[in-house]
Structure 1
Amino acid sequence: MALPWALTALSLLPLLTAQDPTCPYQKAVPITDAILERLSGKWFYIAGVFRNPELQRLIRDVKATFFYLTPNLKEDTIQLRDYETIGDECHYSVNSRDVQRQNGTLSRTVPDGVQIVHLWLSKDPKAFILLFEPEDEQNRGLAFYARKQKVTKKQLREFQEALKCLGLQDDEILYLDGKKDLCRPLDKQHKKERKKGNVES
């Protein structure tokens, strides 16, 4: 299961209804075509905080991960091509997410319900944040992604501000280490295949 999108089943709920009204993460930001285009391309998972025990277990097994997002503006979907280094192996998967534009969420249907993640764009266009179960204080989570594996102090500061805003702590942060990535060779192979017109499934 792809780490960046591994969520427990949720229903579509207002974003952070029980939180401090001064916290900007309380407000759902509608997803526009421009936002979807901004999300297109390669992203690295940098760090996150997960209070949900299952998500904590998943992240602790992963050494590094990056992924590609390909939005379909007409169908309101995003294809996710995910590369995860787990143990001494590279795991690759392809799936898609539905876009709920007005709710500012991305979702997919799974056997036991609907998996949902709330999108929050950072001030820097080269980073974004995903909110996990924001209305549930016991299982709340937040993940930080960037265009480059090494982030700037300004990007990191905004991530830390988001943590504080949501009542999460710095000592709860779980970082991944891009130096342990084992998926680069497979990524290069896939790039060559796409250039030849052989798009991997």
Structure 2
Amino acid sequence: MALPWALAVLSLLPLLDAQSPACPNFSVPITNASLDQISGKWFYIASADRFPEYKKEASEMHAAFFYFTPNHTEDTILLREYTTMGDQCLYNSTLLKVHRENGTLTKSVNGTEHFGHLLLPKDPKTFMLAVFPEDKQNMGLTFFADKPEVTPEQMQQFYDYLTCMGMDKSEVIYSDEKKNLCLPLEKLHDEERKKEKERSETGTALD
């Protein structure tokens, strides 16, 4: 009787594979192509966090967007982030370290290193960062996209990764682009950079 049972189980395997979400590999090495893919402007879409500090921060954050400017030779990323918390816009600029071999990015805050595993789904217009993926008590997953609104298919990628990690949709906190208060500051910064570039080019021409 064992053989028919085994054959029945084997016949179900393709069906089970089709229904279960594809688990991400949390240690895919970061390449120059990976860095190029995440270069530019990104919007925070949603996150699910069990680590108390991250969960608290996500609950207080209404909206956020940021710019990644990678440096291939120094293995760093210049991060310029605009975050709306409460009724104010907070701006911060810092350098992230790129750890190519284990596929992580680190951010230093008050002397503490915060690690995030870079996950690149099939859709190049999105990416995710996972924290403590092996720790059920503290794990988290954050979802980013190149636009403030995402498609149902893009959102499903996030949900699939969540499910695979053992987390639930009920744990997700979503951003609200309508509460974004940082657009005027971003515009001001853009104008300042444009003027600075013009001054630099004028100075070079005079030399």
Do these two structures clear the TM 0.5 threshold for a shared fold by scoring above it? Answer: yes
Structure 2 residue 180 is matched with structure 1 residue 181? yes
**Bigger helix share:** 2
Matching residue of 1:135: 134
Residue by residue over 1:51-83, the C-alpha shift from the partner in whole angstroms, topping out at 9 and shown as x without a partner, is 111111111111111000000111000011010
- Secondary structure at the aligned position of 1:179 is classed as helix
Distance, in Å, in 1 between the alignment partners of 2:186 and 2:47 is: 24
Counterpart CA distance in 2 for 1:113 and 1:42 is 26
SS at match of 1:123: coil
Name the residue aligned to 1:164: 163
Aligned to 2:100: 101
Distance in structure 1 (CA, Å) of the matches to 2:83 and 2:117:
22
Give 1:25 shift. 2.1
Sequence identity percentage: 47
Q: For the residues of structure 2 that align with 1:49 and 1:177, how far apart are their CA atoms? A: 15
Inter-CA distance 93–111: structure 2 relative to 1 (3 Å threshold): closer
Deviation at 1:26, TM superposition (A): 3.8
How big is the alpha-carbon RMSD for the aligned residues of Structure 1 and Structure 2? 1.7
Structure 2 unmatched ranges of 5 or more: 1-20, 198-207
2:14 corresponding residue in structure 1: none
CA distance in 2, matches of 1:46, 1:125: 15
Deviation at 1:114, TM superposition (A): 2.5
Q: CA deviation at 1:108?
A: 3.4
What TM-score, normalized to structure 2? 0.82
Q: Deviations over 1:79-129 (max 9, x none)?
A: 110100111100000001110111100113455542211000011110001
- Partner amino acid, structure 1, of 2:196: G
User: Aligned letter for 1:155?
Assistant: Q
TM-score under structure 1 normalisation? 0.84
CA displacement, residues 120-166 of structure 1 (integer Å, 9 cap, x when unaligned): 00111100010011121101000000000110111011111001000
Query: How far apart are the structure 2 equivalents of 1:141 and 1:183?
Result: 26
Aligned partners of 1:112 and 1:39: how far apart in 2?
26
Once the 2 structures are TM-superposed, how far is the Cα of residue 27 of structure 1 from its aligned partner?
Answer: 4.2
Counterpart position of 2:5: none
Letter in 2 for 1:69: F
| 3-state SS of 2:148 partner | coil
Shift of 1:175: 0.3
Residue 151 of structure 1 aligns to which amino acid in structure 2?
A: V
Cα distance in 1 for residues equivalent to 2:91 and 2:46: 20
Query: 2:59 matched to which residue of 1?
Result: 60
| Structure 1 segments unaligned to the other structure (5+ residues) | 1-21
Cα offset, 1:23, TM superposition: 5.5
**Distance in 2 (alpha carbons) for counterparts of 1:61 and 1:53:** 13
Change (3 A) 1:109 1:93: closer
- How far apart are the structure 1 equivalents of 2:196 and 2:39? 20
